[in-house]
Structure 1
Amino acid sequence: MSILITGTAGFIGMHLAKALLDKGEEVVGLDNINDYYDVSLKNDRLRVTGIVPNKIKYGEAIKSTVYPNYTFYKLNLEDKEGLDKLFKEYNIKRVVNLAAQAGVRYSLTNPDVYIQSNIVGFGNVLEACRHNNVEHLTYASSSSIYGLNTEMPFSINQNVDHPVSLYAASKKSNELMAHSYSHLFGLATTGLRFFTVYGPWGRPDMALFLFTKAIIEGKPIDVFNYGEMQRDFTYVDDIVNGVVKVLDNPAKPDANWTLDKGDISKSKAPYAIYNIGNSKPIRLMDFILEIEKCLNMKANLNLLPLQAGDVPATYADTTEIEKELGYRPDTQLSYGVNQFVKWYKSYYKV
């Protein structure tokens, strides 16, 4: 029986695949390796898990040169026929769906990509899980889902009906779609609302990457909301540890659940939602100071107002995942930023 991880050329997907492979799990990886950002970075992530990029052909399996228990496919989630074939061929029993069109700001100018990948693609994943007796679907949601909520910390039992970007709306739709499949077909689904993940091999459109690059190159960095943004920065290893705990503990139905009890993160169906965050929001200016310290360089700040689609603060209430699964992130910001800076300097030879 295999675990399917979608998005294994991505930031979190690569780290998760490696962690599960190191545990000896049988893993099938999937990614379409699109050009939303530098494809060479995605190819180098694949090399970490022993996948040779120039041997990849769309819709065909390629075996890892490092892990005998790893098979990779280049495939679009929108390719329903290809996805169904993969599920049947590899007896997929657990799925972690990380593949999605990411980025809040990109959704302002390229909404169609989000509809196709995050909604149509996720629908295909649900259908494949339904028809192939998958035991547990774990999928990435986002802290962006909290939208116009202002009560801190963000709790999984707060209403999330007012997203402020199409990206967030697509993640909200995933949670609703997952619940319907849990209810109708008994598919165990768990959604994970990730809070500002950072670390080595991160995406080039993320704050830590952008800031580090600009400071090294002596260029100004755009700092929105005049630096008064707060983010619940969560180190990638802590995210991976949380995903593994969730994957090993499928959501269970609660026969006594009723909506009026207020726990909207659970259900009579085998359905659950968790926040995965550090629960220690950091001011953006303090985050920049930590980068400056690691680089021993000063940043040139371009202070700007809050950008459309952004929220001024994120702060995760992780009570439920701590209580139910014993999950508690423990990576200090100073360590995490330093690990990224070391990776960046090594990777880009600066």
Structure 2
Amino acid sequence: MSNEAVLVTGANGLIGNAVRTMLEATGRKVLPLDRVSRTEEGKDIIECDVTDVHRLHVVAGRQPLAGVIHCGAFSGPMVARDNPVAMVKVNIVGTANVLEIARIHGVSRFVFCSSTSAFGTTHAASPIPEDVALFPGSVYGASKVAAEQLVSTFSRQYGLDGVSLRLSWVFGPRRTTDCVIRTMIEDALAGKPTRMPFGRDFPRQYIHVEDAARALMTALDRPSLPRSVYTITGGTFLTLGQIAEIVRKIFPQADIELGPGADPVDEVQGQFDITAAARDLGFQPALSFEQGVERYAEWLKARK
């Protein structure tokens, strides 16, 4: 077996943990980093903040690197809303630091975990391809646009083989930030009503964390990629009202009422085109939305 490891940042997080465990399940060596160290299933996750470039150099020098999957970042527009400078330091400067590690170590592929927040509010007709004008409505979304540009520029200027995957809203086990699906499930399990003053007719495109991790791993291993950016979703375009109906199907006792209108802290987006990912990555979501909700519910029940 090769001594080369895949460096995974954000290895304690929702997506980074799923990537790490999937890679390890295939027998591949992983160098897992996160700003908080911990031991998972007998394996140590190394404490290393992506903003600490000196620490990154020390840790990355421990063994040869085969590739990088960069998930370490503030994880959504709802995070650090009152600290935009920190968002820039972590999501943009942190990405530049990890790119420099990849460049110096000559990795075969750099995969950046971007977000559909980079699109912002969409103005093009659906389905929306990757190459439309971007109008991010949050510093988080802007940080993803800037980081994508860094990945592309490192590719052009230094020959680093990099690709960015714009993931839609990710749900599933280990999500810690706000999640409508988790709220609906947990309320149903607790016999509590779910009341939201908006969202009944508001569409959102979710992807289960397992499918998100598979997409990132596929992008790592695909021999050649003609594009620098791909959009990845779960293949659905459901309103929060339709999502509530699916939760009620799984939990008949669920008492959910949603008001009309958009999420006041989210952007209105049309359905994204994921045909480029299917063509070039061979990626298709393996889980239906209902299957993903059922798996998430089982995980949440097991933790009660």
Q: How well do the aligned residues superpose, as a CA RMSD in angstroms?
A: 2.1
> Within 5 Å, which residues of 2 pair with 1:129-278?
129-150=102-123, 151-160=125-134, 162-217=135-190, 218-222=192-196, 224=198, 226-249=199-222, 251=224, 266=227, 272-278=228-234
Unaligned ranges ≥5, structure 1: 35-42, 52-63, 65-70, 255-265, 267-271
Structure 1 residue 249: Cα displacement? 1.8
Q: Indicate the percent of aligned positions where both proteins have the same amino acid.
A: 24
- Give the structure 2 partner of residue 78 of structure 1: 51
Structure 1 residue 314: Cα displacement? 4.8
> Within 5 Å, which residues of 2 pair with 1:1-350?
1-33=4-36, 47=40, 50-51=41-42, 64=43, 71-150=44-123, 151-160=125-134, 162-217=135-190, 218-222=192-196, 224=198, 226-249=199-222, 251=224, 266=227, 272-301=228-257, 303=259, 305-347=261-303, 349=304
3-state SS in 2 of match to 1:321: helix
Is the CA contact (8 Å cut-off) linking 1:192 and 1:273 kept in structure 2?
A: yes
**How many residue pairs get matched?**
299
3-state SS in 1 of match to 2:278: helix
User: Which string of whole-angstrom CA distances, capped at 9 and with x for unpartnered residues, describes residues 184-205 of structure 1?
Assistant: 1000111000012222233342
| Runs of at least 4 residues off by over 6 Å | none
Letter in 1 for 2:18: H
Letter in 1 for 2:301: K
CA spacing shift, 1:172–1:12, aligned 2, 3 Å: same
Shifted more, 113-122 versus 168-177: the winner is 113-122
Is the CA contact (8 Å cut-off) linking 2:69 and 2:111 kept in structure 1?
A: yes
Structure 1 residue 127: Cα displacement? 1.3
Letter in 2 for 1:319: T
Q: Distance in 2 between matches of 1:314 and 1:227?
A: 16
- Give the structure 2 partner of residue 55 of structure 1: none
Q: Distance in 2 between matches of 1:284 and 1:244?
A: 29
Q: Distance in 1 between matches of 2:180 and 2:88?
A: 25
Letter in 1 for 2:27: G
Structure 1 residue 251: Cα displacement? 4.8
CA spacing shift, 1:199–1:334, aligned 2, 3 Å: same
Q: Distance in 2 between matches of 1:11 and 1:314?
A: 25
User: Which string of whole-angstrom CA distances, capped at 9 and with x for unpartnered residues, describes residues 139-189 of structure 1?
Assistant: 1110111112132222112121x1111111000001111111111100011
Structure 1 residue 250: Cα displacement? 5.3
Q: Distance in 1 between matches of 2:102 and 2:216?
A: 18
Is the CA contact (8 Å cut-off) linking 2:187 and 2:254 kept in structure 1?
A: no
Structure 1 residue 308: Cα displacement? 4.7
- Give the structure 2 partner of residue 260 of structure 1: none
- TM-score relative to the length of structure 2: 0.91
Structure 1 residue 276: Cα displacement? 1.1
Structure 1 residue 21: Cα displacement? 0.5
User: Which string of whole-angstrom CA distances, capped at 9 and with x for unpartnered residues, describes residues 317-349 of structure 1?
Assistant: 1111111222111312221111111110111x2
Letter in 1 for 2:168: F
Letter in 2 for 1:179: S
Q: Distance in 1 between matches of 2:262 and 2:203?
A: 12
3-state SS in 1 of match to 2:69: strand
Q: Distance in 1 between matches of 2:236 and 2:160?
A: 33
Is the CA contact (8 Å cut-off) linking 2:51 and 2:97 kept in structure 1?
A: yes
Letter in 2 for 1:186: G
Is the CA contact (8 Å cut-off) linking 1:222 and 1:302 kept in structure 2?
A: yes
Structure 1 residue 293: Cα displacement? 2.5
CA spacing shift, 1:221–1:12, aligned 2, 3 Å: farther
Structure 1 residue 304: Cα displacement? 6.5
Q: Distance in 2 between matches of 1:301 and 1:109?
A: 30
Structure 1 residue 113: Cα displacement? 2.5
Unaligned ranges ≥5, structure 2: none
